[in-house]
Chain A
Amino acid sequence: MELEFTTRTTFDKVGTRPPRPDGTDKVTGRALYGADLAGADMLVGKVLRSPHAHARILAIDTSRAEALTGVKAVVTRDDFPHIGPEGTVKGEVEESVWDVARNVMARDKALYEGHAVAAVAATSTAVARQALKLIDITWQVLPHVTDVDEAMRSDAPLVHEDMITAGMDPVPEEPSNIAEYRKVEMGDIEAGFAAADVIAEQSFRTEAAHQGYIEPHACVASASEDGLAELWCCTQGHFSVRDMCANILGMDLASLRVTSSEIGGGFGGKTTVFLEPVALLLSRKSGRPVKMTMSRDEVFRASGPTSSTSITARIGATRDGRITACDATLRYQGGAFPGSPVGIGAVCGMAPYDCPNVVLHCYDVVVNRPKAAAYRAPGAPMAAFAIESLLDDIARKLDIDPVELRLKNAVKEGSSSVYGPTFGPIGFEECLETARDHPSLEAVPGPNQARGIAAGFWPNFGGQTSVTVNVNTDGTVLVSLGTPDIGGSRASMCLMAAEELQIPYERVKAIIADTSALGHNDTTGGSRVTHSAGLATIEASRKVIDIMKRRAAATWDIDVDAVVWDQGCVRPSGANAGDHEPLTFDAIAAMASATGGPIAGHAEINAEGAGASFAVHVCDLEVDPETGRVTILRYLAVQDAGKAIHPDYVEGQYQGGVTQGIGWALNEEYIYGSDGVLQNPGFLDYRIPVASDLPMIDTVIVEVPNPGHPYGVRGVGETPIVPPLAAVANAVSRAIGRRMTETPMSPPRILAAIDGTS
């Protein structure tokens, strides 16, 4: 990183709430999402999916489908090139190409119900559907396992017959469903518990939740005879899509151009590929553009939900509320392939607290479920559910206010974190104090009502980012970004460019450029975009200013050191600069042709310095003791944003994350039958929160500037989903007088807890 800066604290434009540049298209229906592109001669692609949770594919006969009038191409495993198990490719995190490839299309076995086994391209949806029915598969159905604890047993059916647990010493001789074991350790755990006056211990379980983006996966692929191809798709990272497709299909990167459509939600779930390589193959085989869209049913069965988990944890504390030790065993299933977010989740649970003695045993487990994808703060909400629940139990045992307990143990600048780095300036104590003093806490819970408090943490990321800032001759500015805008980031980038260039916000527009127009950009995720693309936008804007200073100096025939940038103008400065009228941004832009050509700044960076993010949530709710139904009465989310560039979209992240967390806590779960088939693959039975389920969500934006960003930005998107599971659980547990240990806390589970039968 070349950019040098001191973090600013006063702003003209940053922190205001102007309309977003893509807004009008989105309120008029003009904005084009994944499924909204149509082309001449376009075919419809559909996928045949496994009806079995686990089955060997002995034979695939596509002859009857191929003979159907209107069918233009059929693809199966045989159409994919062989690739070895070595390569990796980066989506939200580093993934095995081989795993992604065989998740996209099953090879020797179908590993979960919904796993793709063949695909067709036809002249209409109806013909494509009919063709799928004409594909004959010879199955050998195998025993399956979908539960994480059952999958870890030595007699469990093996998802991969050759998988030896990584990270074990000694190396196990027998294969198992445990992909990896990892131990995180600091201090002396025995001494820590010996010093404890109280110990809270409990086992917890969370069911898998789906990101639940309203837009199903969709793409249009067009491959031409010269080996080039174009792909349009809804994704959080079109550069990653390009890398994955090229790796899976054996293409070079320059031959595949990927354009990201507007994206209708992702939350981590659109950081990998499902349909895209299949659509490219179908297009290549048929010689025509192919459009593929998932149904909602397919989204649930065959995209990437988050892990279900089983966690056992123990926390010790002294009589005065100092945490002395935490040990936990965390078991996360990642679906049919390794890669559950157990490692990062585990450390996020304890990261808010200054605890000297910690041992975390982390198990990454495979089961016969769809391959897990990232879901907002991947892995953290489940670990926080366990840790924050135990802290609440300790607060009750010691009769200490739960916020005060957390304040006693909160990490601060200089604290060492359980995941390695020493914290710089962070806002956790400020969040706790703000929550404690918030007026909404004056409400006194009535009968069957209670308050739950929980904290949350996410480290945030930086990463590779490439941005171009083009100055037009009329003084307007276009920012080209390579990070898909999933919730208003174009507005934030325009604000930062306008702030830096000292020109009106309305004079700046931003677009998401395709993969041919910019250097590589890592995926939108991990709460990295406002930080990283913001850094790159600011750096590129400063290069524009440098060019403008040089142009003005040359015009005046003075040295560039004799000019300054001030209030959107270049002025002469110093004794020998001469007496020149300042040149405005617009004037220099208009002279571009005569002074050396187009004016543009660009930045290619690998951003570092992402500031850690903390939040504190307070949930007031009522439990109906007759039905077990929970009503959320009030909800407060306090979080450190470092600096809120566009506060509307920061508040929106808080409110949206809270709502997803409430859904996960109360309603949402993947329900599997004994046959390993998902029983609720639709929004009727997988019930996400609706408007009538919720009150307004109060938010407070705390701003402790991140010194790793010139404006102090911290990513804000992930952390809001970390505390809600525990905040809701702590409130329900206090309301009914019994500790809730499983999500979702559905009415039957709450009634069972009240009756003491759970």
Chain B
Amino acid sequence: MSTNRKKQATVNSKMHIKHKLFAGYDLWLLDTALLLMCIGLIMVASASISIAAKEYADPLHFFWRQGVALMIGLSFAFVIVKVPLQFWQNISVLLLILAFVMLFLVLVPGIGKEVNGSMRWIQIGPFSLQTSEPVKFCVIAYLAGYIVRHKQTVQTDFAGFVRPIVMLTIISGLLLMQPDFGATVVLFTTALGMLFMGGIPLLRFFAWVSVAFTILLTLAIMSPYRMQRLMSFIDPWKDPFDTGFQLTQALIAFGRGEWLGVGLGSSIQKLFYLPEAHTDFVFSVIAEETGLFGSVFIICLFSFLVWRAFVIGHVAESVEKYFAAYFAYGIGLIIGIQAYINMGVNMGILPTKGLTLPLLSYGGNSLITYCMLIAILLRIEYENRQDTRNIVQKVVVAYA
């Protein structure tokens, strides 16, 4: 271990590494992720003070819980950056099985815990496991492995495409049974994106995308109530006290923010006007308290994360580390898709559904899962660098 580190230190001596602990890792990625987590912790505290004081008689109730989750997430990440990527490739099928087990178990009454009409949680001692979050990790890992194992069939054969799609459909079905519509959309889209990157023939891909889209649309239309709720985002002011309530309150938060915001802690919308202010709608509170400056900054940070993940994936691909490459693409996709959808929902350009903002929103499972995904990215980049330190620089420069 220590020899390893020494070696890295010499390897990276040309690069200006300030922090020894993170020597050899992508500091841009690390710093961006840490910055998002810190902003998240502060904003969760700010957005939840009133509701925590009311519901739990402790204004920092959510802050402490988020802090503990962050510590757990960071310790997982510390372990994961040390684990060779090959390990995940070896157990990728196991991870899928684990995902299925969790998704089945959560639907079993007695094991799964029903909250607000959804069976999304498994209680393990003092912890609540939100199954859809680790499932994201498992499915991405599995898919990356699958594409590597069946590269040829994926790219040419129909069966190579159908198999993961069937697997995804089952997982989506299980998620919809919870129901967790948001996670379904994010996971399905991510998977499609990974297959797309994996080289599925375009015609087949778009055919399937339109089929999937049609199915989703049919599901929505078949339930007019859901449809109505789903489409209320188009004109939330039509019924601002019922279906449009949450969104109008979020939009008001944006309007209050102006250029630089009303100031940290000074949000009015979080004072019970905006439901889920510290979870799904934390972005609105950020926009209110820190203004356009803050909201654009967050958008840019997420965009940077996505770009960085794709660069890392690209480098991995260029050194023929395909598992790493697809894993990296998957991570970039899921972070980007979930973050963009969440922010789009906050600003009323997408229908409202329960999705958190990765690394920022309150929610331990989501935070820990994204910590792990970021750690995987760091590990991929680390391994890339070990193999190709000269090329990395070239590639990075090329994309920078």
A binds B: no
Q: Which residues of B contact A (CB under 8 A)?
A: none
Q: Which residues of A contact B (CB under 8 A)?
A: none
